[in-house]
Amino acid sequence: MTALTTTAPDAGVPSPSYDRTTATVGIVHFGFGNFHRSHQAMYLDRLMERGEGLDWGICGVGVLPQDAAMRDAMRAQDCLFTLVVRHPDGSLEPRVVGSVLEYLYGPQDAEAVYARLCDPAVRIVSLTVTEGGYLKNAATGAFDATDAAVVHDVEHLENPRTAFAYVVEGLRRRREAGLEPFTVLSCDNLQGNGEVCRQTVTGFARLVDPALADWIEASVSFPNCMVDRITPATTDADRESLLADFGIEDRWPVPAEPFTQWIVEDEFPLGRPALEQVDVQFVDDVKPYELMKLRLLNASHQALAYLGAPVGYTLVDETMRDERIRTYLERYMADEAAPTLGELPGIDLPGYMATLLERFANPGIRDTLVRLATDGANRMATFTLPAVRANLEAGRPVTLGALMVAAWAEYWALIARGGLPESEVPPEVHAQALREAASDDDPAAFLRIEAVFGDLADDERFREEFLRMRSALAAEGVPATLDEVLGG
């Protein structure tokens, strides 16, 4: 057995060849989970392996009570972890990643986090706090000043519960000290994620000090970016196979698919790492790429979860072996998602969609449907409903989108009556509202969850399609409904 170290194990697993003791922190990252480690941290590690970017090391920050487990794992391993790429043929490709230099746990020592944010060497603060973590109304997208976490943090900046409180207070302290502000880089799956992040940060700051909010609006850069890599949750089987096959004992390895993409708007006033040397694309406007990914990949993930689970599937790849569901995805992407995207210069859209189907079907990933369904209210409001609205406005069909939403409603009706094992019920902030609305005698009650649907419940054409699809699913089940909708 070989413990996780900076030297390559006997099994030949690549490890950092650069001297981590000479590297320094230039990036602070909130939301330090599997995706960040399989994506941004991996790209930085690639750059450092070239002998460059050693002043752009990462300091991970945890702000939630459950982040204590990551703190313990990272501190025990000198912030090293193993990224394991799972190929479709079943082979595994591990790499020990060394770009993370520090991990701070806010609930234990908020002042240490603030000290790092005020370090002049820190020039970028990045976030992966999930779609639902931006303290906004899911239906309107507006900053929610009444959110309980916001109300708490405005009064308790010395011990906050949200990443945005740290960002705002960090910027306030930098301004007070005469330091230039860091760039704030959202890496979450949100359309215009930089703009959404700006809205949340300035909205929070305005509650603290209107003058601070004005300064942030005028002085802080919030570039948009598109991130893409399917990264499932870590399991005990991942730990066991890494130890058995490669001799590495890692408390929290990261599994991921081979595909990875990162497209970023090049707006970094204090500089940035030269990530274009490791295949990151820097562009003037990321929105077309971002929209393509959200409405094709992320919306398809929602369809897989809500069509697959009621049939009895638990994994994404097994769901993709169901020809009805696979055909539904092909048709949804081509007929209802793609028409909402507008011009995509230089993009082979049919090729991109075909690649998505191949990625979903990768049996090596073993991604779960419950992961895809996690935080579904925010994800549906972000990935699927904007395409529905666009199609309604353009007079195009919305049948397949309505079917996805109806399947979501039936999924929560199934949960409400105990039809799914507790282990397959996804974490969901709006769980109580979804259970109650899905169980209501009026099937249209689901559309009246205003925090998700806003005024979409008032659209007669969508409501009729939703009710028709929900009635078919309830009476006939997923396979028969798909046969009817797809033409047999």
Q: Name residues whose C-beta falls within 8 Å of residue 473's C-beta, 6 or more positions apart in sequence.
A: 403, 406, 407, 410, 481
Cβ contact 260:40 at 8 Å: no
pLDDT greater than 60 at residue 10: no
pLDDT in tens, 310-319: 999 999 999 9
pLDDT in tens, 200-218: 999 999 999 999 999 999 9
Same domain, 235 and 318: no
Same domain, 167 and 81: yes
Same domain, 296 and 251: no
Q: How many residues does the chain have?
A: 488
Q: How many domains does the chain have?
A: 2
CA angle 279, 358, 486 (to 5 degrees): 135
pLDDT in tens, 271-327: 999 999 999 999 999 999 999 999 999 999 999 999 999 999 999 999 999 999 999
The last residue of a domain, from among 236, 254, 283: 283
pLDDT of residue 345: 77
Q: Which residue is listed with tokens 């309604």?
A: 392
For 101, the enclosing helix (H) or strand (E) is: strand 100-105
pLDDT in tens, 392-403: 999 999 999 999
Buried/exposed 59-82: b ≥16 CB within 10 Å, e otherwise: bbbbbbeebeebbebbeebbbbbb
pLDDT greater than 50 at residue 487: yes
* C-alpha distances out from residue 428 to 129, 276, 343, 456, Å: 14, 37, 35, 21
pLDDT greater than 70 at residue 1: no
Percent share of the chain, pLDDT over 70: 98
In 3D space, the residue among 396, 408, 384 whose CA is nearest the CA of residue 456 turns out to be 384
The amino acid sitting at 5 is T
CA–CA separation, 57 vs 23, rounded Å?
Answer: 6
Residue 15 C-alpha from the chain's centroid: 27
pLDDT of residue 442: 97
Question: Would residue 249 count as lying in a domain?
Answer: yes
pLDDT greater than 50 at residue 9: no
Same domain, 360 and 432: yes
pLDDT in tens, 211-254: 999 999 999 999 999 999 999 999 999 999 999 999 999 999 99
Mean pLDDT over 118-126 rounds to 98
In this structure, the number of other CB atoms found within 10 A of the CB of residue 422 comes to: 7
HSE at residue 162, side-chain half, CA atoms within 13 A, is 25
Same domain, 356 and 213: no
Question: Would residue 81 count as lying in a domain?
Answer: yes
Same domain, 330 and 229: no
Question: Would residue 244 count as lying in a domain?
Answer: yes
DSSP 81: E
Burial grade of 51 (CB within 10 A; 0-12, 13-18, 19 or more): exposed
Q: Name residues whose C-beta falls within 8 Å of residue 120's C-beta, 6 or more positions apart in sequence.
A: 179
DSSP 461-484: HHHHHHHHHHHHHHHH-HHHHHHH
Question: Would residue 10 count as lying in a domain?
Answer: no
Question: Would residue 38 count as lying in a domain?
Answer: yes
Mean pLDDT over 32-44 rounds to 98
Mean pLDDT over 55-70 rounds to 97
Buried/exposed 443-473: b ≥16 CB within 10 Å, e otherwise: beebbebebbbbebbebeebeebbbbbbebb
Q: Is the dihedral of CA 293, 262, 317, 32 positive or negative?
A: negative
pLDDT of residue 457: 92
Question: Would residue 11 count as lying in a domain?
Answer: no
For residue 306 the two structure tokens come to 């809500």
CA–CA separation, 446 vs 443, rounded Å?
Answer: 6
Q: In the beta sheet, which residues pair with residue 256?
A: 85
Same domain, 465 and 477: yes
Mean pLDDT over 35-57 rounds to 98
The last residue of a domain, from among 225, 260, 283: 283
pLDDT in tens, 148-193: 999 999 999 999 999 999 999 999 999 999 999 999 999 999 989 9
3 state SS of 399:
helix
The last residue of a domain, from among 283, 309, 329: 283
Same domain, 106 and 209: yes
Look up the CATH number of the domain holding residue 456.
Answer: 1.10.1040.10
For residue 468, what are the domain limits?
Answer: 287-486
pLDDT in tens, 326-355: 999 999 999 999 999 988 877 899 999 999
Same domain, 59 and 189: yes
